[in-house]
Amino acid sequence: MPHRREQYPSFVSLLAVCCLVTFGCYLAVSMRLPVVPLYARQFGITTAQIGAINATFYLMAGLLSVPSGALSDLFGRKRLAIAGSAILCAGMLLLAFGRSYLQLAGVYLLLGGGIAAFGPTMMSWVAEITPHTHLGRAYGWYTTALFCGMGIGPALGGVAGKFFSYPSVFVIGAAMTVVNLWAVHRFLPEPARRTDLPKERGRWKKNLAGVLSNRPLIGCWAVTFGACLLAGMFFSFMPLYADERGLDIGRIGVVFLVQAASNALFRIPFGAFSDRVGKRHRQALAGAALITVAVCSFAAAETFLGFAVAALALGISNAVAFTAVGALIAETTEARYRGLAMGGYNTCIYFGLMAGSIGLGPVIEAVGFSSGFLITAALNLPFVALFALCLTAPTAAAPR
C-alpha cells in the first residue's frame, strides 16, 4: 500500500507499546516456571505429574492458537488481546489456590488458552501497524521483547520465591498482568478497519482455504515445527547431557543464558538485515540449516566451552531464521486471514516443543545423548527441505 506510513503515522510508538506489553505479559507469566515445580512438591505431586502439568500448557496453547487467531480475524485483534490478558491474570491468581495435581493441571490448561489468545493476536497486530519495508526490524524488536520477558521472568520469580511465599509469586504475577491488561486497553487502539474485507457468511471458510493454498505459509509452518522440535530436545535433555559430561548446575545455567541472550539480542540486527537485503526466504532457509548444524555441534561438546559455543551457535541461528520467518508470514498472507496464519505459526511452536520434549526421550535412552542429538538434527532436514520446496511458489507480498 503506497500510503502505509500516512495510515499509521505513529508506527514507531505503536510498535514500542506492542513490545512493552508483550514483554510485560511473558515476564509475568514466566515468573511461575521455577516456582511451580517446588510448590507442587509440597503437596506430594510426583516428578512425572509435574512434567505432565507443564505439557498441558503446551498442549492447550497449541490446540487453541489457530482458532484464537481466526477469532482475531473475525472480531478484531484488540478483543482477543484483552481476553488473553484477562485469562492469564485469572490463571496466575488461581495458581495460588492450587493444592493438587488436577487443580494445577487445570490452571495450566487455562494459562495455555490465555497465551494462545494473546500471542498470535499480538504478532498479527505487529504486521498490521508496520510498513512493509520495516517488517524485519519490527519482528526483530518484537521477538526480542518476547524472549527478554521469557528470560527475565523466571529469574524474577526465583528471587521473589526466595524472599516471599510461593503463592505470593503467583499473586505478584497476576498483579503485573492487570497492569498489562490496562496497557493493552489504553494504548493499543484497534487498527483502522479495512473497507475492502467482505462481511459475508462463511468468511472463515474462505480464510481457511486461503491459508491452506498458501504454499510459502505452509513452508514457514513446517520449518518452525522442525526447529522447535530441536528446541524441545535442547531444553529438556541438554542439562542431563551436560551433567553427564561433568558440568555443574551453575555452568549449565550459563549455557542456557548464552543461548537465550544470543537468540534475543541478534534478532534486532538480523531483522534489519532482512529489510535491507529483501531476500527473507533465503535468510530463513540459511537460518534453518544453521540450526541443524548447531544442534549437531552439541554431539561433539565435551567441556563447558564446547557447550557454550554450541549454545551460542544455536541462539544466533534461531535469530537468523525466525526474524525472517515472522516477516515472511506477514508478507505472504492477506490481512483477512493473517491472525489464522499467525495462530498456525504459534501452534507449530508449541507442538514442536512438546514433541521434542516427549518424543525424543526414548531415542536418547536407546542410543545415548551424542547420537540422540545427531538423530534429532537429522529429523529437521525434511522440514527444511519442505520449506525450500514451498518457496518455489510465488512469494510476492500479499495485499495488506
- 162 & 260 share domain: no
Write the CB contacts of 36 (distance below 8 Å, at least 6 apart in sequence): 50, 53, 95, 104
Identify the domain boundary among 189, 214, 248: 189
Indicate whether 53 and 185 sit together in one domain.
yes
Does residue 363 lie in a domain region? yes
pLDDT tens series, the chain, 400 aa: 344 444 444 678 888 888 999 999 999 998 887 788 888 888 888 867 877 787 788 889 888 988 888 788 777 888 889 999 999 999 999 999 999 999 999 999 999 999 999 988 888 888 888 887 788 788 888 888 888 888 788 778 888 888 888 899 999 999 999 998 998 888 877 655 544 444 555 566 676 677 777 888 889 989 999 998 888 888 777 777 888 888 886 777 778 778 888 888 888 888 888 888 777 888 889 999 999 999 999 988 889 899 999 989 999 999 999 888 888 888 888 777 777 788 888 888 888 888 887 777 788 778 888 888 899 889 999 999 999 998 875 444 444 4
The answer to the question of residue 164 being in a domain is yes
Q: Examine the domain organization and report whether 130 and 156 are in the same domain.
A: yes
In a domain, 1, yes or no: no
pLDDT at residue 12 in the model: 81
Indicate whether 197 belongs to any domain. no
177: containing domain: 9-189
CATH code for the domain of 97: 1.20.1250.20
Output the nine-digit C-alpha cell for 75: 472480531
Query: What is the number of structural domains in the chain?
Result: 2
- In 3D, which of 281, 166, 292 has the Cα closest to residue 229? 292
**Residue 399 included in any domain:** no
pLDDT at position 289: 92
Dihedrals φ, ψ of 307, to 5°? Answer: -65, -40
168 and 217 in a common domain:
no
Residues 176 and 73 in one domain: yes
CA distances from 350 to 74, 168, 242, 289 (A): 23, 28, 25, 21
Same domain, 319 and 271: yes
Q: Are residues 36 and 174 in the same domain?
A: yes
Non-local CB neighbours of 369 within 8 Å, separated by 6+ positions: 237, 240, 241, 244, 299
pLDDT for the residue 190 = 63
Do 135 and 210 lie in a common domain?
A: no
Alpha helices, DSSP H, located in the chain: 4-7, 11-30, 36-41, 47-75, 77-95, 101-129, 135-163, 166-187, 203-212, 215-244, 249-265, 267-277, 280-299, 304-332, 338-359, 361-367, 369-390
**102 in the same domain as 225:** no
- Using the 3D structure, point to which of 146, 161, 189 is the last residue of a domain: 189
Q: Flag whether 339 is in a domain.
A: yes
Assigned domain for 53 exists = yes
pTM of the model: 0.75
With respect to residue 195, please indicate whether it lies within any of the assigned structural domains: no
**Do 222 and 183 share a domain, yes or no?**
no
Boundary residue ending a domain (189, 223, 251): 189
| pLDDT at residue 25, rounded to an integer | 93
Cα separation of 131 and 288, whole Å? 26
Residues 324 and 237 in one domain: yes
Among all chains, which residue has been given the C-alpha cell 498456525?
344
Looking at the structure, do residues 51 and 140 belong to the same domain, yes or no?
yes
